[in-house]
Amino acid sequence: MTDDDATEPSRVWVLADERAGTRSQALAVAESLGVPFRIREIAYGPIATLPNFVLGASLAGLSAESRAALAPPWPDLVIGAGRRTAPAARTIKRASGGRAFLCHVMYPGAVGARDFDLIAAPAHDGVPPAANLITTLGAPHRITGPVLAEAAATWAPRLADLPRPWIALLVGGSTKRRRFTGRLAETLGRRASALARARGGSLLVSTSRRTWRAAEALAAAIDVPARVYRWSDGGENPYAGFLALADAVVVTGDSVSMSCEACATTAPVYIFAPPGFTEDKHARLHGDLYDKGYARPLGEDATDEDLHPWTHPPLNAAADVAAAIRSRMVIAE
């Protein structure tokens, strides 16, 4: 819950920058704590790309507006995520006389890591052990029970014409080092269609900005009843609704966040990650999810094992990070 009363000091600050992934992880932890917090918008200046060992504990990489917003009274707890918010968090701690508790999601780098009271890094990143470090299975996210319930109520009437079971197909796309080609999109469309066809159901397809031109190849390969959302068309994004209502989920393995969000319900999850499509760190995450029963690989054909319903607990590392904060500091409600 955000603290809307700007006239009162806020005990919890979230350093939220414009990168959707890091912003979402920091907010997820704050929301999981269940106490009021205030968002401090973080925008960067031209030198923010310098490494943290050059920037040190400073606000030098921030825009003038962001620097002005980071002023006393200082909070009791600062939650940030990603490399670029780390110098600002360290500055706040020093300005508060060391009183502010710093929680950082994702490893900020070795330089200045001791300034943080708690660092939460995903196990698949392989960060060396430290007294102030906890490892999580995957990344924190904001797909919680209440979010899913609201999305389900919104989207269920709009999908009533489609035969069940409903299989959500959550599609990412190309990354800096890997391309999601039209051929891969066709393969994904065929495999997901085979799964839906074998169950006599439908696909609920949500593409993203990174799907780009491959979205057309994907749609062309789908030969079962489907509702397809193309990110490029704009309009209301059904991502959370499709996930909330899905009897099973297929997700592309190119995104840590999407893979973890796919596991936010108890429905079966199948990850599409053919050889060469994903990076090593993603493969390590997938292996962890498989080993712990949260997901299975999407094979070339739907097998009897794929068709047999199975379940798992909802996955969200945000709750684990929030619990670790509470175990290390006293938070006023």
pLDDT digits (tens, 9 = 90+) for 84-102: 999 999 999 999 999 999 9
Which tokens is 321 given? Answer: 């990070």
- Same domain, yes or no, for 110 and 210? no
**Sheet with 226-229, edge to edge strand ranges:** 226-229, 202-206, 166-170, 248-252, 269-272, 296-297
Contact 287, 273 (CB under 8 A): no
- Same domain, yes or no, for 178 and 54? no
Contact 147, 239 (CB under 8 A): no
Which residues sit opposite 17 in a β-bridge?
A: 42
- Same domain, yes or no, for 132 and 151? no
Within a domain: residue 30? Answer: yes
Within a domain: residue 5? Answer: no
Q: Which class for 309: exposed (0-12), middle (13-18), buried (19 or more C-beta within 10 A)?
A: exposed
pTM of the model: 0.91
CA-CA distance, 93 to 96, in Å (whole number)? 5
- Same domain, yes or no, for 227 and 121? no
Helix%, strand%, coil% for the chain, nearest 5: 40, 20, 45
Alpha helices in 138-272 (DSSP H): 145-155, 182-199, 214-221, 239-245, 256-262
- Same domain, yes or no, for 278 and 302? yes
Within a domain: residue 2? Answer: no
Which helix (H) or strand (E) segment holds residue 204: the answer is strand 202-206
CA-CA distance, 58 to 86, in Å (whole number)? 9
CA-CA distance, 230 to 70, in Å (whole number)? 39
Within a domain: residue 245? Answer: yes
Q: Which residues of the chain have pLDDT under 70?
A: 1-10, 302-307, 332-333
Contact 51, 108 (CB under 8 A): no
- The backbone torsions φ and ψ at residue 2, rounded to the nearest 5 degrees and listed phi first, read -80, 155
CA-CA distance, 237 to 233, in Å (whole number)? 10
Task: Check which CATH number belongs to the domain holding 76 and give it.
Answer: 3.40.50
Q: Give pLDDT, residue 81.
A: 97
- Same domain, yes or no, for 155 and 238? yes
Within a domain: residue 7? Answer: no
- Same domain, yes or no, for 133 and 174? no
Within a domain: residue 175? Answer: yes
Within a domain: residue 260? Answer: yes
Residue 23, classed as helix, strand or coil, is: helix
CA distances from 256 to 226, 263, 285, 289, 317 (A): 25, 11, 8, 11, 12
List, for residues 112-152, the tens digit of each pLDDT value. Answer: 999 999 999 999 999 999 999 999 999 999 999 999 999 99
- Same domain, yes or no, for 80 and 112? yes
- For 42, what's the count of Cα atoms within 13 Å in the CB-facing half-sphere? 28
Task: Check which CATH number belongs to the domain holding 158 and give it.
Answer: 3.40.50.2000
**Per-residue exposure over 81-115, b if at least 16 CB sit within 10 Å of its own CB, e if not:** bbbbbbbbbbbbbebbeeebbbbbbbbbeebbbeb
- Same domain, yes or no, for 126 and 192? no
- For 193, what's the count of Cα atoms within 13 Å in the CB-facing half-sphere? 17
- Same domain, yes or no, for 24 and 66? yes
- Same domain, yes or no, for 125 and 57? yes
Within a domain: residue 204? Answer: yes
| Containing structural domain, residue 281 | 145-307
Q: Give pLDDT, residue 104.
A: 98
Which residues sit opposite 62 in a β-bridge?
A: 44
Alpha helices in 75-123 (DSSP H): 86-95
Q: Give pLDDT, residue 91.
A: 97
- Amino acid found at 293: G
Nearest to 31 by CA among 115, 146, 158: 146
- Same domain, yes or no, for 59 and 204? no
**Per-residue exposure over 223-252, b if at least 16 CB sit within 10 Å of its own CB, e if not:** ebbbbbbbbeeeeeebbbbbbbbbbbbbbb
Contact 77, 11 (CB under 8 A): yes
Nearest to 67 by CA among 25, 10, 11, 15: 15
Domain count of the fold of the chain: 2
